[in-house]
Structure 1
């Protein structure tokens, strides 16, 4: 799932919220903060980044301990990373950017919207379950095996190769696995927080994701979706402008590089 960012040479660091956060800026237009998945970096979006950057000023961030952002002495926690992103938005002087996140980044995007709603214009969480119990049992079992001991088994993966190539301290990989494992083991349920979201939100998932399609339909239901016929003029759609996209023929592992993802995200963000 690794790609090459359009112009990694434009990367910068921002000292925000106690962390030195790496980010790149691509394109021009309405700002879009783009957040990658676990054990990846902004480079994961390489195949779809050019399409997004044609219409938006894309701020491509490497989250704590990932890519070119060094780890710091705190857990991997989507709430803390959301505070990093909110601080970066303020640091860059962005006026309510759209926030789009995939997998771990989707969890961070949700928390930015929950904790800092005034910072977000439109929200797109991709392949981000809102409750741990929603994921398939075999996925939960795999997550329970995540930790430093798994480092040797990951050495032939693109994720390990990316980390070794760009991380400020490549030797931190086992430590990152321990932190990711601890984060995955923690129970969570954002049902009530998602029900309270007020910014227009596009819930996106693959039709063969880590959680069943029914879970993402339930998330849409929390946003008043799927409760009535939409009507000829769309008058029956959710009042908050929320939407749902279940993308066909994709999985959790390739949705972030699909042209179909770029198409649905751009269409949603183009709305007033």
Structure 2
């Protein structure tokens, strides 16, 4: 089943993804990460400060996440925690003032699964809080990327209290299309053929990075860390002009 976490209002519910599967959530096969290594990392939370997705800082006022994380919410129902590797403490909490979901987001196919989040009070940059640059070109197959989050450490498992990271290689589009139907040029796949390392439930909306740039947003995939079921990410380079048009970043 494809893995995807969808939150509607104050309730979390599973949404049918491209082929009947569920969405990505937590990091499987990863290691503990310091927030100073990933100062762009945000925990996306509901009004009760409960984390359910990730996001990335792209300027002092804007973050980027997955549309399946933010559709169904009004801005005042969301918060983000910046500057902490702990999912439930530390850092600073910012109220969200605006959500922009991609107008062509398709909840069935997860095409254009990207959203922008504006915070009411700007992020104060320092060692643990910083914006990440956005990649504008394609990544070559086999390029190693890093995904971070507080999602499940195994399929169906609980989330992590501490930020985790895992390195996964980019999968050729043709190879990914053999594993899943509905792969488009706006998506990027990453993972090992043998499985064992992956994003999972709870990581949705979080960053996939390479070379210090944001290259993807955690979107969906098959069974977490299963063989021949890579994670699928919204490709940032494909949506670069959309991000600039809507946020000025």
TM-score (norm 1): 0.23
Q: Which has the larger radius of gyration?
A: 1
- Whose RCO is larger (CA < 8 A, sep 6+)? 2
TM-score (norm 2): 0.24
Structure with greater proportional strand content: 2
Structure with greater proportional helix content: 1
